[in-house]
Amino acid sequence: MEAPLISFVRSVRLNQVIDTKTPPETEKAGLLDKYFHLTVRGSTLGREIRGGLVTFFAMAYILILNPIILSGTDSTGAYLGGGDEPNLAAISAGTALVAGIMTILMGAVANFPIGLAAGLGLNSMVAFTIVQLPGMTWADGMGIIVLEGIVIVLLVVTGLREAIFRAVPMYLRTAISVGIGMFITLVGLVNAGMVRTGGGTPLTFGVEGSVSTLPMAIFVIGLFVTAILMVRKVKGAILIGIISSTVLAVIVEAVGKLGVSGEDNPGGWNLSVPSISGSPIQLPSFATLGEFSITGPFQKLGVIAVVVLTFSVLLADFFDTMGTMVAVATEGDLLDEDGNPEGTSRILLVDSVGAIAGGMGGVSSNTAFVESSTGVADGGRTGLTSIVTGVAFFLATFLSPIVALVPNEAAAPALVAVGFLMMQQVPDINWNKLTTGIPAFLTIVMMPFGYSMTVGIGVGFIAHVVLQAATGNAKKVHPLLWLVAILFVVYFLMGPIQSALA
């Protein structure tokens, strides 16, 4: 039996050989066409550029959110990137730099239209859990991320990560894609202020049931502009929607001076103010780069605690990418005859390296963003889309004032539009068969209600295994799914486990 590493390398080479075959009519195509297979995938250079820009604008909020999430102090009272106050500029620049590198790598190596950046759930885990443990610093927290990335890379190289992915039934993959559509729709509605924490209810619509602020009105206008353009089949509908909403937002802010939303300013913008002031170019600071320590966590927490923390981060990172990959591939019709995304092994490898790069860059694990589906919905089909997105991230290190012009209210309509597109897969699930319908339902609803793709996937996996076993079909469940279901049980019990080890 050949070694797993040799088998992996051969499979990658075989995939490359298969992927580079082009029909006779494209033999004389340009270099870009030959390398990225534009004609084969029914795309053009213009569509790839447009799709890449749409993906970037849909993801650009991470350049604002990541610095905010990582802006607190660690258990020693220190800030990430050094200094006596939060170093937001350095965190934003580092976030953009690592995202640019990894997204370009995804396009060049895997030829797949997915953008990578700091994962929201993962950075929250680092900021609010890991670095708050006694003695833990930001460098130690990023060291945990690097360790997690190394483990995931090993799982990819040995073929285990792809084997787990291929073991997942098709109906669960479809449910994951639909659930992600629901999840990003909720994210968009929350970002736009249309869904808020309720007074006496868990959630409420708008402000006391009304669209009572100008930013909310701009979201509504942007949503209908996007929907009308989609109905009329206008190319670039999503990007046009983002740009038109942003222009309107800039005008409204220039006249009304709304500012940032808060308790004393409920009518302001959510997070980013679309205001033009000062120079649009700023020299970046990369103070977070290299702020990680692999040995520190072991010295301060011990081996067992480090293993538990690494495992919890790994599970959160492991399956989010799987769901994103399926959602993007389905949206772009990039699935093979077995329902797997083209070049799965290379996609997973680049994504796994993103965790290491994010930790070493001091900006948390980089992972595939489901918002990439917005660019695919707008025409992106190849890795050239990712390269355009990556270049835009590079430029964002210098042009952060321009990136900040796009408020959440202007980007949110794109997320809602893509959520609708993903919901169209619902008929592909056999709802009359309860052993598939129930796990699919739980997968879909737990993503938005649990506000986590990982939670939805985990609940769906556990439900699938339990119901198959309860109906006498335990032997039909792939052994890897049994393993993953057990690991998810451990993941959901991580709180009590950590408390017992404390």
> In the chain, which residues have pLDDT < 50?
1-28
**Tell me, what's the pLDDT at 404?**
65
Question: How many of the other CB atoms lie within 10 Å of CB of 432?
Answer: 7
Which of helix, strand or coil describes residue 152? Answer: helix
**Tell me, what's the pLDDT at 16?**
44
Q: Are 335 and 119 in contact (CB under 8 A)?
A: no
What is the distance between the alpha carbons of residues 292 and 287, in angstroms, rounded to a whole number? 12
Which of 421, 318, 341 has its CA nearest to residue 375?
421
In this structure, what DSSP letter does residue 474 have? Answer: G
What is the distance between the alpha carbons of residues 103 and 106, in angstroms, rounded to a whole number? 5
**Tell me, what's the pLDDT at 23?**
46
Question: Which residue has tokens 């802010």?
Answer: 253
Which of 169, 177, 178, 180 has its CA nearest to residue 433?
169
The pTM assigned to this predicted structure is 0.74
Helices (H) and strands (E) in the chain, counts: 22, 4
**Tell me, what's the pLDDT at 272?**
76
**Tell me, what's the pLDDT at 2?**
46
pLDDT in tens, 238-267: 888 888 999 999 999 999 889 888 778 888
In this structure, what DSSP letter does residue 341 have? Answer: B
R_g of the chain computed on alpha carbons: 22
**Tell me, what's the pLDDT at 436?**
95
Alpha-helical regions (H) of 285-425 = 295-301, 303-331, 344-360, 372-377, 383-396, 400-403, 408-423
Question: Which residue has tokens 């997204």?
Answer: 103
Q: Are 54 and 242 in contact (CB under 8 A)?
A: yes
**Tell me, what's the pLDDT at 351?**
94
Tokens of 184: 């990003």
Strand bridging mode 366-368 / 116-118: antiparallel
